[in-house]
């Protein structure tokens, strides 16, 4: 999807014609997800448990700063100032063909890209906001491009979506007395942000309407996908009373019945698989709601998500010499295998959208070793 004509066609075609991009001759290295009559939730989950290895990517306007995906909160960058990063976002070297070929070379079977992170910048076409890649100098729908490449080559595609945290939307809940520090929700700005309009719990419905409209767009614009991967669970645990989780899950399942749902270690037990960070142990924080969700999801398929940078998910320039190597990845795959879990391995693309050269080298070496092992 390298020309404007092809992108325009995908946008105009919508869900029906987007589905025609599903390949009938997938790359022989792929493990194509179920399609047609076989594309049920059960069959998709069966495919997922065989996939074992996936590529995760955290990319957005925060990548421009090179200080990680939480930079707006940690550095208390005002909403209006942070919004200016959109005008610098070019994604000049974001190449869906290269990314999917690299995933296949590494023996990965699916890809997961941040469609929208906590800063609310969207990498897809949406009518709900102008804070999006399509309205930046890039003029591109990166989710659409990557989805087309995955469908053509037989890779699964998942969309990361920040459901329970938003530092931009006017009606996400504010920092409140009595909430634990990890449930603070908004950056601790020294001055009130004029963009923030939340005053009472009832205001939160505006945010939920926004989220549900975007989920509907993601589920209808690009043809079949394998899952929505929701985050961050701690934002939900802080105020579970505000989130109509059953309604959200019903929307996903009714729109794409074969689409899996993940919300880290779980919100209400109706998730299809669990995906704690760096370990299969649940977060210790989360109170009674978190403990109950973890218990309800016990025995379900698992996915460990971890990073090729030491700690950060989005690109950090100060981690340039601290990327994990192929030895580390092979050990991580072995540990995940012992737990009967997948490994979802993250790379933070550089500001221009290209994959860090160290990560490219590592993933290619991992693929060679896996093929030698058979």
Q: What does the domain layout of the chain look like in residue ranges?
A: 37-373
pTM of the model: 0.92
Q: Is the peptide bond before 232 cis (omega within 30 degrees of 0)?
A: yes
Sign of CA dihedral 305, 65, 362, 106: positive
Question: pLDDT (tens digit, 9 = 90+) per residue, 46-104?
Answer: 999 999 999 999 999 999 999 999 999 999 999 999 999 999 999 999 999 999 999 99
What pLDDT sits at residue 102? Answer: 98
Residue ranges in the chain whose pLDDT is less than 70: 1-24, 177-184, 282-285
Q: Do residues 198 and 169 make contact, with C-beta atoms less than 8 angstroms apart?
A: no
Angle at alpha carbon of residue 27, lines to 26 and 30, rounded to 5°: 90
Rounded Cα–Cα distance for residues 56 and 156 (Å): 12
Separation CA 37–CA 22 (nearest Å): 14
Q: Which residue has the tokens 């990319």?
A: 59
Q: Which two tokens stand for residue 110?
A: 């699916």
pLDDT of residue 243: 97
Integer Cα distance of 263 and 267 in angstroms: 7
H-type alpha helices, the chain: 4-18, 41-51, 62-65, 71-74, 79-83, 96-105, 142-153, 204-220, 233-238, 245-255, 287-296, 326-338, 357-373
Tokens for 213? 């409209």
Superfamily of domain 37-373: Glycosidases (3.20.20.80)
Find the Cα–Cα–Cα–Cα dihedral 218, 224, 225, 227, rounded to 10°: 90
């Amino acid at each position: 999807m390298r020309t404007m004509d092809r992108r325009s066609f995908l946008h105009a075609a919508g869900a029906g014609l987007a589905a025609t991009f599903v390949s009938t001759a997938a790359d022989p290295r792929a493990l194509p997800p179920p399609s047609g009559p076989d594309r049920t939730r059960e069959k998709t989950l069966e495919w997922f448990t065989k996939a074992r290895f996936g590529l995760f990517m955290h990319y957005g306007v925060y990548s421009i700063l090179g200080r990680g995906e939480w930079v707006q909160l940690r550095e208390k960058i005002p909403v209006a100032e942070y919004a200016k990063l959109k005008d610098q976002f070019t994604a000049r070297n974001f190449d869906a063909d290269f990314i999917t070929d690299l995933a296949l070379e590494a023996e990965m079977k699916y890809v997961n890209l941040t469609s929208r992170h906590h800063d609310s910048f969207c990498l897809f076409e949406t009518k709900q906001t102008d804070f999006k890649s399509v309205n930046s100098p890039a003029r591109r729908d990166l989710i659409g491009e990557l989805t087309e490449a995955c469908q053509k080559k037989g890779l699964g595609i998942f969309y990361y979506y920040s459901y329970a945290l938003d530092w931009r939307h006017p009606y996400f809940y504010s920092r409140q007395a009595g909430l634990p520090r990890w449930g603070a929700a908004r950056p601790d700005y020294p001055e009130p942000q004029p963009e923030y309009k939340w005053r009472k719990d009832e205001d939160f419905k505006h945010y939920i309407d926004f989220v549900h409209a975007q989920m509907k767009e993601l589920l209808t614009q690009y043809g079949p996908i394998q899952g929505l991967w929701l985050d961050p669970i701690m934002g939900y645990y802080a105020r579970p009373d505000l989130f109509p989780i059953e309604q959200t899950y019903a929307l996903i399942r009714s729109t794409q019945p074969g689409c899996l749902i993940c919300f880290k270690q779980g919100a209400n037990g109706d998730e299809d698989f669990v995906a704690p960070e760096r370990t299969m142990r649940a977060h210790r924080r989360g109170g009674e709601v978190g403990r109950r969700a973890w218990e309800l999801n016990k025995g379900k398929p698992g996915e460990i998500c971890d990073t090729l940078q030491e700690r950060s998910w989005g690109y950090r320039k100060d981690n340039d010499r601290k990327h994990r190597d192929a030895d580390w990845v092979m050990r991580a795959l072995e540990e995940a295998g012992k737990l009967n879990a997948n490994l979802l391995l993250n790379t933070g693309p550089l500001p221009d959208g290209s994959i860090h050269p160290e990560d490219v080298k590592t993933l290619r070496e991992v693929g060679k070793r896996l093929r030698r092992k058979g």
